[in-house]
Amino acid sequence: MTIPESELIINPDGSIYHLHLKPGDLAETIITVGDPDRVDAITKHFDKILLTKQNREFKTVTGEIGGKYISVIATGIGTDNIDIVINEIDSLFNIDFETRLIKERKTILTFIRIGTSGAIREDVPIDSIIASHYACGIDGLLHHYDSYPIRERLLEQKLFIDDNIPDAYAVAGDESLLLHYGSISSPGITITANGFYGPQSRSLRLAAKYDLPNVLKDISYQDLHFTNLEMETAGIYGMAKLLGHRAISFNAILANRVNGKFSNQPQKTIDDLIVRVLETI
């Protein structure tokens, strides 16, 4: 079925609506970051820059390092942006923009998230790196897709304390990627929330209703504990799996929510993670 103009919006220059990218602009390996400034922190290591584009918070650079083509894209914060980014990237590869038809032969993409996060267990050190072997989303994104639910067996346990929190969905990271990158990180289970303050149980002038770190800290699955809270991973894992792609998420732990501490070297921790990921790629 031809996809209507209102659903797949193509700009007059032939680029897709939000990202302003055209088919052929992206490599099949795509690093995602939240902060647009982090794109340059990654691409400064590239041997060659082939393309740079930005629209709104979505900054994209495609280049080459060690003979491998890689794209880096800033998604902005949250799974609402992840919904835009993953759908539009997939469309660039798997929908024919001329005919507006889905291609019969699909391109499988690799998404690598380099992000920051807060630990919810005291034994997760600040400045350590967690690779999300599983991600649980309480953001509600996947509930809007007919292909949902994705539910790993860990959700057979009751995780949350109130029916007002959206039903969680749980998605595993790509096994081959987790194996390939296993030496640069520790395994964990990540919770993806739909906000930074109340949704992650932070209280400033408004008191958070739930204490998620306390609710989750003693739950384990396959010898893994819930380790950290952030705002994108479950959306990336879920959208990638529904569309047939591969994904892995790395979390630089900059805060420990249990002891109330924050890293005194956040940029160094992020830069070290970037170098380790690029070396492993």
- Confidence (pLDDT) at 245: 98
Does this chain's domain 1-107 share its CATH topology with 114-281?
yes
Helical pair 266-280 and 36-43, crossing angle rounded to 10 deg: 50
Pinpoint the alpha helices (H) of the chain: 36-43, 79-94, 175-180, 212-216, 233-243, 266-280
Q: Looking at residues 244-255, what average pLDDT do you find?
A: 98
pLDDT band at 246; cut points 50, 70, 90: very high
User: Highest mean pLDDT: which of 25-29, 166-170, 256-260?
Assistant: 25-29
- Confidence (pLDDT) at 165: 66
Residues making up the chain, counted from first to last: 281
Q: Looking at residues 13-24, what average pLDDT do you find?
A: 98
How far apart, in whole angstroms, are the C-alpha atoms of residue 163 and residue 238? Answer: 22
Beta bridge partners of 247: 111
Burial of 127 (0-12, 13-18, 19+ CB in 10 A): middle
- What is the percent of the chain with per-residue pLDDT over 70, rounded to a whole number? 96
| Residue 62: count of CB within 10 angstroms of its CB | 23
Phi, psi of 61 (to 5 degrees): -130, 130
Beta bridge partners of 57: none
- Confidence (pLDDT) at 65: 97
How far apart, in whole angstroms, are the C-alpha atoms of residue 142 and residue 69? Answer: 30
How far apart, in whole angstroms, are the C-alpha atoms of residue 105 and residue 236? Answer: 22
Q: Kindly report which listed range (138-142, 150-154, 177-181) carries the lowest average pLDDT score.
A: 150-154
pLDDT at 99 over 90: yes
Q: Looking at residues 24-42, what average pLDDT do you find?
A: 97
For 154-190, the pLDDT digits (tens) are 776 666 656 666 678 899 999 999 999 988 999 999 9
The pLDDT mean for the chain works out to 93
How far apart, in whole angstroms, are the C-alpha atoms of residue 158 and residue 162? Answer: 10
- Confidence (pLDDT) at 15: 98
Q: What CATH number does domain 114-281 carry, 3.90.226.10, 3.40.640.10, 3.40.1350.10, 3.40.50.1580? A: 3.40.50.1580
Q: Looking at residues 35-50, what average pLDDT do you find?
A: 97
**Could you give the count of Cα atoms lying within 13 Å of 129 in the half-sphere of its Cβ?**
22
- Confidence (pLDDT) at 159: 63
The residue ranges of every structural domain in the chain are 1-107, 114-281
CATH superfamily membership of 1-107? Nucleoside phosphorylase domain (3.40.50.1580)
Burial 154-178 (b: 16+ CB within 10 A, else e): bbeeebbeeeebebbbbbbbbeebb
For 111-128, the pLDDT digits (tens) are 999 999 999 999 999 999
Q: Is 258 helix (H, G, I), strand (E, B) or coil?
A: coil
